[in-house]
Amino acid sequence: MKKKLKILMSGGGTGGHIFPAIAIAQEIQKRFPDAEFLFIGANGKMEMEKVPQSGFKIVGLNIVGFDRGNLLKNFKLPFKLISSLVKARQTIKEFQPDFAIGTGGFASGPALYIATHLGIPIFLQEQNSLPGKTNTFLARKAKAVFTAYPNMGHFFPKTKTSFLGNPIRKNIITDLIEKDVAKEQLGLNQNKLTILSVGGSLGSRTVNNGWKENIDKIAEKDYQLIWQTGKLDYKSLAENSQITNHSSKIQLKEFIADMALAYSAADVIVSRAGAIAISELAMTKKPVLLIPLPTAAEDHQTKNAMNLVEKNAAKMVKDSEMSEKFWTTLQEICENENLRKEMSENLNFFAKPLATEQIVDEILASLNIKA
C-alpha cells in the first residue's frame, strides 16, 4: 500500500500569503485525495480563520512581526520567537511531513526554519517582484524557489529558482461567469455599470476615503458599487447615512468570500496592487484602476502596478494623488468603452493560469513522487 503523503504548509499574515498556500494545497489534494495537510500560522492573524474555512487544519504560533512603527513594542519579540520555535518543532516532529511549502510572511519563518533543521525538504513561493524577508532568509536551505516574476536570480540562488507565476485559488479561474448572470446573483441591475472596489485582503483606508469623498457621484452617474471595506472601517461606513442612503446602488462588504462572483459582476475594478490581486486581475481581464499601498516593503506595490501601467493594462493613482485624480481617472475608464476593451486585452499578457499546476509538478518531480 502506498504511504499517505503528509505536507506541511506555512504562510500568512495577509491574504496575499495565505491564498497561494491554499491554492497549492488544493492542487496537491486533487492529485492525492488522501494526502494530509497541516498549516502553521500566527495566532490572531487572518490564516487562523481562512485556512479552516478552506477545510484545512492549522496550528497557530505566538509569533509577531517586527513593528517598525513602534520599536518599544518589539521587546517581547525574542521570547515569542523562542516559544514559536519550540512549538513549531514539537508540531512538526509529531506530524512528520514528507515536505514543507512556505509562501512567505513572518508566520512561516519559524516553521520552515525548523523543518530544514529536521531534514525536511522545503519549497518556497514568492509572490512579489521584491521578495519578503522570510523567503529571502530561507532560500539558501530551500530545494526550490518559485517566483511570480522573471529574473529573480539576484535575490535567490539562480539554479533553484523558477519563474512560474502566482498560484491563485482554482475557483477564481473556474467559477468566473457571465457578467449579467453575476450581477443578477448579487441582486444588482444588469444594465448599470458596476464597479468592484477591493482594498487588498485587509481593506484600505485610502481607498475607503476615496469613495467617501465621491459617494454622491456614484448616484449621480447611476453606477453600482460593490465596496469591500476591510474590518477596520466596515462598522463606521455601514452606519454612515451618506452611504446607506444609496443602498440600492452600493453593496458594502467587510470581506468578500466569493471573489469569483464579485470579479464576474464588475465592469471596472478599483484595487490595491498586492501581488495576488494583480495575478487574479490578469485572469479576470477586467479594466482596473490600481492604487498601490505606498508603505508596502520597498514600495513593491507601485512596482507591481507599473508593470501593468506600462503595458496599458491598468491605470494607476498614487495615495498622495487621490483627492485630485481618483474620480477623474476612474471616469476616464468608465466613460471610454474602447479604452476598457484595450485594457482588458492587454491584461492577458500577465495571465498565468497554469502556475499552481506547474509549481506542484516541479515539487513532485524534484522529490520523485508520482500521482
Ligand X SMILES: CC(=O)N[C@H]1[C@@H](OP(=O)(O)OP(=O)(O)OC[C@H]2O[C@@H](n3ccc(=O)[nH]c3=O)[C@H](O)[C@@H]2O)O[C@H](CO)[C@@H](O)[C@@H]1O
Query: Taken in order 237, 279, 42, 83, is the CA torsion positive or negative?
Result: negative
Number of alpha helices (DSSP H) and beta strands (DSSP E) in the chain = 16, 13
> Helix (H, G, I), strand (E, B), or coil: what is residue 90?
helix
Annotated binding site: 14-16, 128, 169, 201, 256, 301
56 binds ligand X (CB under 6 A): no
Nearer to ligand X, 12 or 97 (CB): 12
Residue ranges of the binding site for UDP-N-acetyl-alpha-D-glucosamine: 14-16, 128, 169, 201, 256, 301
Please state, in angstroms and rounded to a whole number, the distance separating the CA atoms of residues 138 and 145. 10
Residue 97 or 132: which CB sits closer to ligand X? 132
Among 275, 283, 291, 313, binds ligand X (CB under 6 A): 275
91-130 residues in contact with ligand X (CB under 6 A) are: 127-128
Question: In angstroms, rounded to a whole number, what is the distance separating the alpha carbons of residues 33 and 99?
Answer: 17
* C-beta closer to ligand X: residue 275 or 351: 275
Number of residues located near ligand X, criterion CB under 6 A: 24
Considering beta carbons, is residue 275 or 316 the nearer one to ligand X? 275
> Quick check: helix, strand or coil at residue 315?
strand
- Stretches 77-85, 109-117, 198-206, 215-223: which one binds ligand X (CB under 6 A)? 198-206
**With contact defined as beta carbons under 8 Å apart, do 266 and 235 qualify?**
no
Interface pick for ligand X out of 135, 161, 201, 251 (rule CB under 6 A): 201
CA distance 286 to 278: 11
Q: Is 142 exposed, middle or buried (CB count within 10 Å of its CB: 0-12, 13-18, 19+)?
A: buried
**Which of 12, 15, 102, 109 is the binder for ligand X (CB under 6 A)?**
15
| The binder of ligand X chosen from 259, 305, 308, 334 (CB under 6 A) | 259
Considering only 185-193, 219-227, 275-283, 330-338, which stretch makes contact with ligand X by CB under 6 A?
275-283
Query: Does 196 contact ligand X by CB under 6 A?
Result: no
- Please answer whether residues 120 and 93 qualify as being in contact, where contact means their C-beta atoms are separated by less than 8 angstroms: no
Long-range pairs, 318-324, Cβ under 8 A, ≥24: 318/291, 318/292, 318/294, 319/206, 319/291, 319/292, 319/293, 319/294, 320/294, 322/206, 322/209, 322/210, 322/291, 323/213
237 and 209 Cβ atoms separated by less than 8 Å? no
CB of 162 to ligand X, least distance (A): 18
Residues 49 and 365: their CA atoms lie apart, in Å, by 32
Q: Which is nearer to ligand X, 270 or 275 (CB)?
A: 275
Among 26, 134, 228, 329, binds ligand X (CB under 6 A): 228
Instruction: Indicate which single residue of 24, 101, 198, 359 sits in contact with ligand X (rule: CB under 6 A).
Output: 198
Q: Where are the beta strands (DSSP E) in the chain?
A: 6-10, 36-42, 57-61, 99-102, 122-126, 144-147, 161-163, 194-198, 224-228, 250-253, 268-271, 288-290, 315-316
276 binds ligand X (CB under 6 A): yes
| 351 is an interface residue for ligand X by CB under 6 A | no
Q: Which of the residues 17 through 46 are near ligand X (CB under 6 A)? A: 17, 19
255 scored as a contact of ligand X (CB under 6 A): yes
Q: Are strands 224-228 and 194-198 parallel, antiparallel or unpaired?
A: parallel
In this chain, which of 35, 193, 256, 367 binds ligand X, going by CB under 6 A? 256
Phi, psi of 97 (to 5 degrees): -70, 155
Contact residues: ligand X, CB under 6 A: 14-17, 19, 127-128, 198, 200-202, 228, 255-256, 259, 272, 274-277, 280, 293, 296, 301
